[in-house]
C-alpha cells in the first residue's frame, strides 16, 4: 500500500518537474539527435564494416579500418601537413588580427571604420571565389606571378611543390585575419573605461596598457579564436582542392585528411574507410582543441 503511494508521488514528482523540463528541451533534442548524433552514429557504424564496390561483399571488420588508418602513409602525410600548416599559419594569422584589433582600438587611426571594413572585406568574399582569384594571381603563364617574373626577372613559382603550401597559408591568412580581428575588437570594446583611467592615473603608457590590460582581457577571445582556427586548419579542404585544378600533380588526392576522405568516398567508393578517416580526424581535432582550451583556461586563472 505504502509503496503504491510512494510510486504515485514519485510519478507526480517526475511529471511535475522533469517532464515539463524535458518537454521544453525535446524539440532541440529531437533535432540534435537527428542531425548530429545519428550521422555520427552512422559514420561509426560504417567504419566497422568493409564493403567492396564491386561484387558487393559487406563484412564486419571491427577495428580493422582503424588499424589501417593508423598505418596508412597517405593519411599521415596529409595529417602532418595540416599540423605544419596549423603551427605556422595560426600564429601568423592571429598575430596580425591582434595587431589590427589593437590598432583600431587605440583610437589613433584616422579612419578606423574604413580600416576595419577593409580588413574584414576578404572574409565576405565567398571562399571558392577567393581561391579562384588567388589561383589566377599565382599563375606563372599568364597570371600576376608571370607579370612580376617578366617585369623583375624573378622566377616566382607560387604553385610549385616547394611553395604551394606557403601559397595556401597566404590565402587562408588573407581570408580570415578580418574575422579574427573582429572577435578581438569586440572583446576589447567590453573592457570597462575605468580600467584605462586607473592605468593612466598610475602612469601607464600606451604599450603598458596593451600588455597589462588589453591582452589579459583578450585571453578568452584568443583561446576561442585559436580553437576555431585549429578546427579550421584540420578541415583544410577548399583551398587545396580548387588549386588542384591548376596543379594536379603537385596537390595529391590525399593532400589534407579531408581531401583524402572526400576522394576515398566519391572517387573510390570506399565509404567505410572514408568514414574511418573522418572519425579519426574528428577525434584528433577534438583532442587538440580540448588541450588548448584546458591550457588556455588554466592560464586565465
Report the nearest approach of another protein to the CB of residue 31 (Å). Answer: 14
Nearer to another protein, 21 or 248 (CB): 248
Report the nearest approach of another protein to the CB of residue 68 (Å). Answer: 10
Nearer to another protein, 165 or 223 (CB): 165
Report the nearest approach of another protein to the CB of residue 299 (Å). Answer: 31
Nearer to another protein, 23 or 141 (CB): 141
Nearer to another protein, 2 or 141 (CB): 141
Report the nearest approach of another protein to the CB of residue 198 (Å). Answer: 48
Report the nearest approach of another protein to the CB of residue 155 (Å). Answer: 14
Interacting residue ranges for another protein, rule: CB under 8 A: 35, 38-40, 42-43, 46, 51-58, 128, 132, 136, 139, 141-143, 161, 235, 237-238, 241-242, 244-254, 258, 261-263, 265-272, 274-275, 278-279, 282
In angstroms, the CA 197 to CA 233 distance is 39
Q: Whose CA is closest to 90, among 257, 243, 227, 290?
A: 227
- How many CA atoms are closer than 13 Å to the CA of 227, on its beta-carbon side? 16
Report the nearest approach of another protein to the CB of residue 54 (Å). Answer: 4
Residue 64 CB neighbours (<10 A): 17
Angle at 29 between CA 293 and CA 258, to 5 degrees: 50
* Phi-psi domain of 54 (left: phi exceeds 0; alpha: psi -120 through 50; beta: other): beta
In angstroms, the CA 87 to CA 92 distance is 9
Nearer to another protein, 91 or 268 (CB): 268
Phi, psi of 48 (to 5 degrees): -95, -5
In angstroms, the CA 87 to CA 91 distance is 7
Nearer to another protein, 26 or 40 (CB): 40
In angstroms, the CA 169 to CA 88 distance is 8
Contact 159, 137 (CB under 8 A): no
Contact 281, 260 (CB under 8 A): no
In angstroms, the CA 59 to CA 264 distance is 18
Report the nearest approach of another protein to the CB of residue 30 (Å). Answer: 17
Q: What is the torsional sign of CA 14, 15, 19, 20? A: negative
Report the nearest approach of another protein to the CB of residue 235 (Å). Answer: 8
Nearer to another protein, 209 or 233 (CB): 233
Nearer to another protein, 122 or 139 (CB): 139
Amino acid at each position: 500500500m505504502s509503496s503504491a503511494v510512494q510510486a504515485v508521488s514519485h510519478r507526480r514528482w517526475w511529471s511535475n518537474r522533469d517532464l515539463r523540463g524535458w518537454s521544453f528541451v525535446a524539440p532541440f533534442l529531437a533535432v540534435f539527435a537527428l542531425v548530429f548524433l545519428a550521422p555520427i552514429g552512422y559514420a561509426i557504424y560504417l567504419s566497422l564494416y568493409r564493403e567492396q564496390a564491386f561484387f558487393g561483399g559487406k563484412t564486419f571488420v571491427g577495428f580493422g579500418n582503424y588499424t589501417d588508418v593508423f598505418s596508412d602513409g597517405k593519411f599521415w602525410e596529409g595529417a602532418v601537413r595540416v599540423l605544419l600548416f596549423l603551427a605556422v599559419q595560426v600564429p601568423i594569422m592571429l598575430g596580425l588580427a591582434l595587431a589590427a584589433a589593437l590598432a583600431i582600438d587605440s583610437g589613433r587611426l584616422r579612419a578606423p571604420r574604413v580600416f576595419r571594413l577593409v580588413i574584414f572585406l576578404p572574409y565576405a568574399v565567398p571562399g571558392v571565389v577567393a581561391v579562384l582569384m588567388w589561383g589566377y594571381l599565382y599563375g606563372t603563364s599568364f597570371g600576376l606571378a608571370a607579370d612580376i617574373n617578366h617585369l623583375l626577372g624573378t622566377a616566382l613559382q607560387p604553385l610549385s611543390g616547394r611553395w604551394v603550401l606557403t601559397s595556401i597559408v597566404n590565402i587562408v591568412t588573407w581570408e580570415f585575419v578580418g574575422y579574427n580581428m573582429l572577435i578581438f575588437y569586440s572583446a576589447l570594446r567590453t573592457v570597462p573605461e575605468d580600467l584605462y583611467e586607473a592605468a593612466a592615473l598610475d602612469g601607464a603608457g600606451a604599450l603598458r596598457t596593451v600588455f597589462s590590460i588589453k591582452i589579459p582581457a583578450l585571453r578568452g577571445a584568443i583561446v576561442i579564436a585559436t580553437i576555431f582556427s585549429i578546427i579550421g586548419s584540420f578541415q583544410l579542404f577548399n583551398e587545396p582542392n580548387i588549386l588542384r585544378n591548376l596543379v594536379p600533380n603537385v596537390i595529391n588526392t590525399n593532400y589534407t585528411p579531408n581531401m583524402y576522405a572526400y576522394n576515398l568516398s566519391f572517387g573510390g567508393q570506399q565509404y567505410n574507410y572514408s568514414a574511418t578517416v573522418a572519425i579519426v580526424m574528428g577525434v584528433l581535432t577534438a583532442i587538440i582543441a580540448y588541450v588548448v582550451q584546458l591550457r588556455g583556461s588554466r592560464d586565465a586563472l
